[in-house]
Each structure stands twice: as C-alpha cells, then as structure tokens.
Amino acid sequence: MSDVPAAPDARRVVFDVWSDYLCPWCKVAATRLAELEREFEGALVLRWKSFLLRPRPEPGRDLEKFRRYTQSWRRAAEAEPAARFEVWSSEEGPPTHSIPAHLAAKAAAELGPAAFANLHAALLTAYFENSRDISQPETLAALWREAGLPEAAFARAAEPELLRRVLAEHAEALELGVGGVPAVRLAGSDVAITGAQPTEAYRRWIRKLLYPA
C-alpha cells in the first residue's frame, strides 16, 4: 500500500513520454516510471508517444558489430538494477528500424490500457533481455500472442492510420526540440525533459504538481 496521500479533488499528473523500444535508457525510464505509477495509485498518468531512433529500414546491418554494441547496455543495467539487460546472444537481428514495434504498441493500445501495458513490457523484455528482433513481423506476432491479445486484432498494426500517428508523434517531439529519448513533459507544456531521470527526481516533480505548497 502506498504512503502517498490521495490527491485532492481527484487531481492527476499527466506526463507525455517519448520513447523508442530500441533505446536502453528508455527501458530504464520505463522501469522507474512504472514504479511511480504503482506508488501514486492512479494519480500519475503516462501517455507513451513514439520517437524513432531508426525511422527508416536499414537492412544488412552487421550482427557482430551490433552484438558488440549491446555490451554498452551494461551501463544502463548498472544505473537501474531493477531493469534487466542481457548482451545479444541470438542469431536474430540486428533490428532494421523502429517503426514496427511502435505500430504493434499502438494497435495494442486500442484494445485498452492493460493490453498496451502487457505488450509494452513484452517488447522491452524481448529486445533487451531475450535477444529477439522486434523489427520482424513474425516476432511481433509471437509477442502479441504471448501477451494474450486477440490474434485477429494484430492486423490493425498494418493500418496506415497508425503509421501516421507514429510519425506525427515523432514530428511533435522534434518540434519541441527533443533530440533524444527518453523525454518527458507535463501534458500541455512546451518543454520536455530529456534523459532517464533518477526515480527521486521524477517523484519530487510529481509531488510538487499534486500537492503544491
């Protein structure tokens, strides 16, 4: 049970969070923000938005070079012990671009918050812990099934409307001056804070907004 008092007048803090499923520091931020969602028991609302570190397909990337790159994920693991990372160990990949995972996440969100939360976590786990290439349709379809989502609804990820939404969210971030992720802003603000902030920094920000002096 949280020791945070109930927010007066059902006050809520709504954060827009730009993130990419191929970004290790986005997993760090997701881990910390998920902890705070539980702590503030409905008073914190996260609106996940797409940012594209690899906006276009890049076929033919070198697997061994990519495998060496994933050793850098250890830094993220050291920064946030609650977020698991493993150096790439499979023969899959490297992922060719960012868009497919975002499309699947958007399709899951249309089924409701729980469906999105399940697939959001599954995508991060698959990539950073289980060495699965989340840019591949067959991998995404498997994760969709493993998350317990209705199989027929996966086709929604191929709809042009969702692609337009993903691209619009990325463009919105660029217009705000966001050059990297994770990036968090208070909904309605024109300023985003970039980088995986310490949990306590997020906590102080939320408390100040919920319980102003």
How far from 152 is each of 37, 144, 158, CA to CA, in Å? 30, 10, 12
Q: What are phi and psi of 3, to 5 degrees?
A: -95, 10
Q: Which residues contact 202 (CB under 8 A, 6 or more apart)?
A: 32, 33, 36, 184
Query: Which tens digits make up the pLDDT trace of 187-196?
Result: 999 999 999 9
Q: What is the pLDDT of residue 2?
A: 37
Q: What is the pLDDT of residue 213?
A: 76
Q: By the 8 A CB rule, do 69 and 75 touch? A: no
Q: What is the pLDDT of residue 1?
A: 33
Query: Which tens digits make up the pLDDT trace of 121-170?
Result: 999 999 999 999 999 999 999 999 999 999 999 999 999 999 999 999 99
48: nearest Cα among 101, 6, 84: 101
HEC readout, 39-74: HHCCCEEEEEEECCCCCCCCCCCCHHHHHHHHHHHH
User: Does residue 8 register a pLDDT over 90?
Assistant: no
Query: Which tens digits make up the pLDDT trace of 39-75?
Result: 999 999 999 999 999 999 999 999 999 999 999 999 9
Q: What is the pLDDT of residue 3?
A: 40
Query: Which tens digits make up the pLDDT trace of 83-108?
Result: 999 999 999 999 999 999 999 999 99
